[in-house]
A and B are shown apart, each in its own frame.
Chain A
């Protein structure tokens, strides 16, 4: 076991699956980089470098640089998936789904149901999301609620390098379309990651820490922030359970409800905009199924209902912070 970054963990997961299964291909804009150019091949290894090294190892027959043409190549990934390949296609930033939404929402997600169970579409759409890089409104959104809403898609949001590798491997092995969200501000995060391949099953939340006073459910990068908040709160005598659902579709409702039944308090931390996001979804779940266990109103910690701003001062205000989470938990625990 060695320390690896989120980027290295993703790379290792993809590489090991490509070694294991010859039907796995990767495709995307600059997924290697340099296609048709006179300079370096594998120039980028995708925009943030997670695919670097796949081209020299597997060649252009399995590593497809694409034109900037999301409708065509995301759709082609779906078409290849129902015909025997396991494509891992990168939609560079999830904000770009607007130009290929049909192929995701109306095509790949629907094949199995519309065709009476006769289609199997093992495709992974990797995509970058989240604020923090001063990338402003069109490169920073958290659009996983949109995909979570669509039956037929599975939605995966790793919260650390260990999670990234295990969930990537499971995503590639899975037989349904998977939208795999990679938080761009976590790419340099490091932790111990096993060298051998391992798969983390979908729909099984990770209990990041346990405490009896409140349940914090957090998504993606917010798991890290919530853990930081919980560590600080523990020094004040407030003990929190932090739950990372790992996948928002399927969602491990049992883990969430069981915890809230013990703690009686729920704080949901979601970097997605506040209307119809995972925080509202999980709040509704708990309100409907664990109402009598609640000792305080459910609290949702989210950004405001605005686009992601550019200026650093504004973006820092926009993203939920460990301090903000800490305050929300304290207020919930002290609620009379």
Chain B
């Protein structure tokens, strides 16, 4: 695994962009300017970026209700995303999808998904289409620990195994399905072993460690591209915010999030690793921080200034023709 300076800067920029995006959405949500439900990805950045860096334009991902990080990882435009979350004209989905349904099909991002376990069957279909059309593409199904107990996910793992589809099942285990601990809800307490039961190889990695995720994803995607069929990855990490914005998180022990922000931060780990190895210097990383902050500032300002959707938009886009 050789990451050059450019790769490292890309990885850091993407992770920092996700963090900054989510911290700003958190602040703006508190002012009441963002409607609906918002689920933040802060703390989980290494997963989306470490996995999506293995993908290219012919590859697909399906996402979850906590999907902003996956969008940024797969290259969606942050201005369009911010406008979408604000429900504005110019949003990636014209303000008709919102945070839970951000998608950019042209970029291979098949949608955040409001249904827990909604994505894996779609990822199977995307992989089947790639296989049938011989595009060489693969599909990644990101799903949470809650979705690992949904029939759709388990059926999809079986289907992908039976058809030997290039689907990468990425279990993002942030410890809580809403309020319920994943230690309790995943029967057998061994997600990797469960995947093996379907004939799908996989491993567990520390999701605070970008390099661990990157290495595991690199190998899995390489195996899939070589025709080895579906792969699995159990990423363990934490989320810094509640299930959704407004969640008081009383199910978490007092101080847990503060401790995690202090000791379990993928961005801090990344910084320390690349600096101590002499790969990137503080100034370069600081510059990224500043640039990203400006970019997100601009995205928020543009979203606030953007017009609301037109009333005609209410009834368009239901069908291609009707």
Query: Contact residues of A with B, CB < 8 Å?
Result: 23, 25, 61-62, 64, 66-67, 69, 71-85, 87, 99, 102-103, 106-107, 110-120, 151-152, 154, 174-176, 203, 250
Q: Write out the residue numbers on chain A whose beta carbons fall within 8 Å of the beta carbon of B139.
A: 79
CA distance A68 to B12 in the complex (A): 44
Contacts A66-B159, A72-B158, A176-B321: A79 and B132 contacting too (C-beta < 8 A)?
no
Tell whether, in the assembled complex, residue B152 and residue A76 are in contact, meaning their CB atoms are under 8 Å apart: no
A119 to B126, CA, bound (A): 13
Among B36-51, those with CB < 8 Å from A are none
- Beyond A69-B155, A79-B129, A85-B129, whether A116 also contacts B123 by CB under 8 A is no
Contact check, A113 vs B96: say whether CB atoms are below 8 A apart. Answer: yes
* Given contacts A114-B103, A118-B105, A175 and B125 within 8 Å (CB-CB): no
Contact present for A116 and B318 (CB under 8 Å)? no
**B128 and A80 contacting across the interface, CB-CB below 8 Å:** yes
Q: Which of B86-94, B168-176, B275-283 contacts A (4 or more CB under 8 A)?
A: B86-94
The answer to whether A116 touches B91, judged by C-beta atoms less than 8 angstroms apart, is: yes
Q: Are A114 and B124 in contact (CB under 8 A)?
A: no
Instruction: Give 10 pairs: A residue, B residue, CB < 8 Å, sorted on A.
Output: A64-B163, A71-B152, A71-B155, A73-B159, A79-B126, A84-B133, A106-B115, A107-B118, A152-B319, A176-B319
Shortest B289–chain A CB gap in Å is 32
- Given the contacts A112-B318, A117-B317, A154-B319, A83 and B158 also touching, CB distance less than 8 Å: no
A87–B125 Cα distance when bound, in Å, is: 10
B116-135: CB near A (< 8 Å → 1, else 0) gives 00101111111111101100
Q: Closest approach, in angstroms, between the C-beta of B76 and any C-beta of chain A?
A: 12
Check: B74 CB closer than 8 A to any chain A CB. Answer: no
Using known A-B contacts A67-B159, A67-B162, A72-B155, determine if residue A117 contacts B316 with beta carbons closer than 8 Å: yes
For the complex, give the distance between the alpha carbons of A111 and B93 in Å.
10
Chain B residue at smallest Cβ distance from A27? B128
Residues of B within 8 A of A87 (CB): 125
Over the window 95-108 of chain B, the binary record of Cβ atoms lying under 8 Å from chain A Cβ atoms (1 yes, 0 no) is: 11100010111100
- The answer to whether A118 touches B93, judged by C-beta atoms less than 8 angstroms apart, is yes
B320 near A120 with CB under 8 A, answer yes
Name the one of B95, B110, B156 contacting A72, with C-beta atoms under 8 angstroms: B156
The number of chain B residues touching the other chain, given as a range, is 35 or more
Q: Nearest CB to that of A117 among chain B residues? A: B317
B151 interface hit (Cβ, 8 Å): yes
Are B321 and A175 in contact (CB-based, < 8 A)?
Answer: yes
Chain B residues with Cβ below 8 Å from A99 are 151
- CB <8 Å contact, B97 and A115: yes
Instruction: Find out whether the CB atom of B317 lies under 8 angstroms from the CB atom of A75.
Output: no
Using A115-B101, A151-B318, A176-B319 as known contacts, say yes or no to A76 and B96 having CB atoms under 8 A apart.
no
Q: Which of B147-188 contact A (CB under 8 A)?
A: 151-152, 155-156, 158-159, 162-163
**Contacting pair B133 A85 (CB below 8 A):** yes
Choose among A62, A71, A82, A116 the residue that contacts B121 (Cβ–Cβ < 8 A): A71
A75 touches B96 (CB 8 A): no
List chain A residues, Cβ under 8 A from B103.
Answer: 111, 114-115, 118-119
Interface status of B111 (Cβ within 8 A of chain A): yes
By Cβ-Cβ distance, the 9 closest A-B pairs, closest first, are A79-B125, A75-B121, A79-B122, A116-B93, A116-B94, A72-B155, A76-B125, A117-B317, A80-B125
Contacts A106-B118, A116-B92; A85 near B105 (Cβ below 8 A): no
Q: Which of A85, A107, A111, A250 contacts B322 (CB 8 A)?
A: A250
Q: Which A residues touch B129, using CB under 8 A?
A: 79-80, 83-85
Q: Does B75 contact A (CB under 8 A)?
A: no
Q: Which chain B residues border A84 with CB–CB below 8 Å? A: 129, 133
Q: Within 8 Å CB of A69, what residues of B?
A: 155, 158-159
* Residue of chain B at shortest CB distance from A203: B322
Seed contacts A71-B152, A80-B129, A116-B97; 19 additional CB < 8 Å A-B pairs? A61-B132, A66-B159, A69-B158, A71-B155, A72-B152, A72-B159, A73-B121, A75-B122, A75-B125, A78-B122, A79-B62, A80-B132, A106-B115, A107-B122, A113-B96, A113-B318, A117-B94, A117-B316, A175-B320
The docked-state distance in angstroms from the alpha carbon of A268 to that of B318 is 28
B320 touches A80 (CB 8 A): no
Give the CA-CA distance A62 to B82 in the complex, in Å.
Answer: 41
Contact of A152 among B106, B122, B316, B318 (CB under 8 A): B318
Which of B106, B122, B163 touches A118 (beta carbons < 8 Å)? Answer: B106
Among B104, B106, B132, find the residue whose CB has the most chain A CB atoms closer than 10 A. B132
- In the complex, what distance in Å separates the CA atom of A219 from the CA atom of B301? 54
Task: For B201, list chain A residues within 8 Å (CB).
Answer: none
Please give, as numbers and ranges, the residues of chain B lying within 8 Å of A72 by CB-CB distance: 120-121, 124, 152, 155-156, 158-159
